[in-house]
Amino acid sequence: MSDQFKQEAAERAAEDVTEGMRLGIGTGSTAEFFVHALAKRVAAGLNIVGVPTSERTRDLATGLGIKLTTLDELPQLDLTVDGADEFDPQLALIKGGGGALLREKIVAAASERMIVIADGSKEVDALGRFPLPIEVVPFGLEATRRAIVTVLSDLGLPQALVLRGGASQPFVTDGGHFILDAHLEKISDVKALAARLVAIPGVVEHGLFIELATKAYVAGTDGVKTVLPI
């Protein structure tokens, strides 16, 4: 049922895309449903240009005939549509389960609006159940890890950090970085954690998306509902 819900949310978001739009196109399983829905509208004559948030999305969109560009060529976007690993009532998000959080955040920040597409399992009262991805540079990894642990300790959060992929074969992002997944259970102060993490020199970006999403389409057994930040 989850794939069906993802598809329903994605198709609803595709209806919000209008002629001539400059569009950020997200990454992940739900975003792929959106790419397919968007491609159908493009094939029917809709004229848009997209900026993909990952090489995977670029390959999929190109193969489906969607016109793409870059933020260097088109630095201001009208709308980004992307999934989320979690979202709270304020539409703060955890993203990065697929490893594309840096490009996703750059594209979202360059957009006037951001629509999140998800199934109901991603809606939570407080962020943290899904591990928080923290993108870090490989150089000085242990020093960066220790600095993150200190921040988590200061904020009363669990200090459980896992290098994605493991030490022998770490996952490498499109930007050439590693990801540390922080298992936090519940984040009581999202903004404080975001500010402390981004101040660490070895941290490239984190998966907390705050005050970026303007609307969410959430699909479940009762259909697709619209969620606005409170």
**Which of the residues are catalytic?**
104
Rounded distance between C-alpha atoms, residue 31 and residue 28, angstroms: 5
Burial 54-80 (b: 16+ CB within 10 A, else e): bebbbebbeeeebebeeeeebeebebb
Q: Which whole-number Å values give the CA distances from 130 to 47, 102, 153, 184, in the listed order?
A: 37, 18, 19, 8
Contact call for residues 33 and 61 (beta carbons, < 8 A)? no
User: If you compute the radius of gyration of the chain from its CA atoms, what whole number of angstroms results?
Assistant: 17
Q: On the CB side of 37, how many CA atoms lie within 13 Å of its CA?
A: 21
Q: Which amino acid is at 214?
A: T
